[in-house]
């Protein structure tokens, strides 16, 4: 069975502690509204953009968002299909791997979903490679990494799944499990193409199934895409002879910590006083109301005209939305007449 090698350093411990603290704040937030759907959707869009962008997809975040909403985007068929595949895979992540274990069949199904109608040879969609491949610099053509021989892939993947589904692995911190699985999957490189996307999807799936990101709020791939050279450098720092994953796990746990912190900050903007939760319970907000509260956190105040401009609604519709938030105890009016505006309670 695969046996990863690594040392828990102070950096890794600090990152995991930071993650735990941020998670607690997110879970205890005063405003945990129906806009969870919106927050999850945003994370999926950002993750789809980042993960495909790492591998050279030219679509911008705005174009990915447009595609997700069914709008027309000017790009090549393949570029759009890659993004659509990733969006659909992430949307149905919880359906792709039922049960506690992650099987070979499920990973092949994920790869099939990620690469359908995008590979030059369709026989490699959802199937292990039968040929030797290399990872090379797109510009210089310099070979960066030579994965194991194709004949060794089935055996290596079998050992990988044995480790992933072992009892001792289930007792491991899910962030460490996801980081180890990410690296080992990329090292084996079981597919002709789409290995990076599949590895990052696998990491997200592990975090979801192990109870870390059950609401799927975190767009971890954003961290990798923000500095691609650092991502590849972290992968390449692992000595191919010793396969000591310590430095990689320091990088990976830092990425998770940064991603969770970003979610925490967004939640805190919607929940400045967590003590209210114990008194009033959770307040459910619509997506439109969430936008109003975010505006107030950023600007400090809002007029009826501000709301009309933001939502492109009538004066009466804007007043109706503000009245609902007043009744919920989220905002309250200040001043009168032309100076009337609204602030957070």
Rounded to 5 degrees, φ, ψ at 62 are -65, -40
Residues 81 and 174 reside in one and the same domain: yes
Name the percent of the chain lying above pLDDT 90: 59
Q: What is the pLDDT, as a whole number, of residue 289?
A: 85
- pTM attached to this predicted model: 0.78
Assign residue 205 the CATH number of its domain.
1.10.3290.10
For the segment 290-321, what is each residue's pLDDT rounded down to a tens digit? 888 878 876 788 999 999 998 889 999 999 99
Distances in Å between the Cα of 167 and the Cα atoms of 44, 97, 177, 318, 338 are 30, 18, 12, 55, 66
Assign residue 338 the CATH number of its domain.
1.10.10.10
- If one counts the domains in the chain, the total is 2
Residues 89 and 215 reside in one and the same domain: yes
Residue 103 sits in which domain range?
10-269
Rounded to 5 degrees, φ, ψ at 300 are 90, -25
* Pairing of β 135-136 and β 143-145: antiparallel
For the segment 179-225, what is each residue's pLDDT rounded down to a tens digit? 999 999 999 999 999 999 999 999 999 998 988 876 778 888 888 88
Residue 280 lies in a domain: no
Number of H helices, E strands in the chain: 17, 4
More confident residue, 26 or 324: 324
Would you state the torsion angle of the CA atoms of residues 89, 91, 95, 100, taken in this order, to the nearest 10 degrees?
Answer: 90
Q: What is the pLDDT, as a whole number, of residue 242?
A: 95
Residue 4 lies in a domain: no
More confident residue, 97 or 315: 315
Q: What is the pLDDT, as a whole number, of residue 280?
A: 58
The full DSSP string for 150-176 is GGGHHHHHHHHHHHHTSHHHHTS-HHH
For the segment 223-271, what is each residue's pLDDT rounded down to a tens digit? 888 888 899 899 999 998 999 999 999 999 999 999 999 988 887 776 6
Triad 231, 211, 55: Cα angle to 5°: 25
């Amino acid at each position: 069975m695969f046996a990863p090698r690594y040392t828990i350093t102070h950096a890794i411990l600090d990152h995991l502690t930071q993650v735990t603290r941020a998670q607690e704040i997110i879970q205890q937030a005063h405003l945990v509204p129906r806009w969870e759907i919106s927050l999850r959707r945003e994370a999926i869009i950002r993750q789809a953009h980042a993960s495909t962008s790492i591998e050279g997809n030219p679509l911008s975040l705005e174009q990915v968002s447009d595609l997700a909403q069914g709008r027309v985007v000017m790009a090549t068929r393949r570029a759009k299909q890659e993004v659509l595949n990733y969006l659909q895979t992430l949307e149905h992540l919880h359906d792709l791997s039922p049960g506690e274990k992650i099987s070979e069949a499920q990973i092949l199904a994920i790869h099939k979903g990620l690469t359908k109608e995008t590979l030059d040879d369709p026989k490699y969609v959802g199937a292990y490679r039968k040929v030797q491949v290399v990872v090379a610099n797109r510009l210089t053509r310099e070979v960066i990494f030579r994965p194991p021989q194709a004949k060794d892939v089935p055996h290596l993947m079998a050992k990988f799944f044995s480790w992933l589904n072992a009892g001792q692995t289930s007792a491991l911190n899910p962030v460490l499990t996801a980081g180890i699985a990410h690296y080992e999957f990329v090292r084996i490189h079981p597919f002709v193409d789409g290995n990076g996307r599949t590895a990052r999807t696998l990491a997200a799936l592990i975090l979801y199934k192990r109870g870390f990101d059950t609401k799927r709020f975190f767009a971890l791939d954003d961290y990798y895409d923000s500095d691609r050279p650092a991502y590849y450098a972290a992968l390449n720092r692992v000595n191919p002879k010793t396969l000591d994953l310590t430095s990689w796990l320091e990088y990976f746990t830092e990425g998770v910590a940064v991603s969770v912190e970003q979610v925490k900050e967004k939640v805190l903007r919607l929940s400045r006083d967590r003590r209210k939760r114990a008194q009033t319970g959770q307040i459910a907000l619509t997506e439109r109301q969430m936008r109003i509260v975010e505006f107030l956190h950023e600007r400090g105040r809002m007029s009826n005209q501000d709301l009309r401009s933001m939502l492109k609604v009538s004066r009466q519709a804007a007043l109706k939305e503000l009245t609902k938030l007043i009744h919920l105890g989220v905002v309250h009016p200040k001043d009168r007449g032309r100076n009337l505006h609204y602030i957070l309670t």
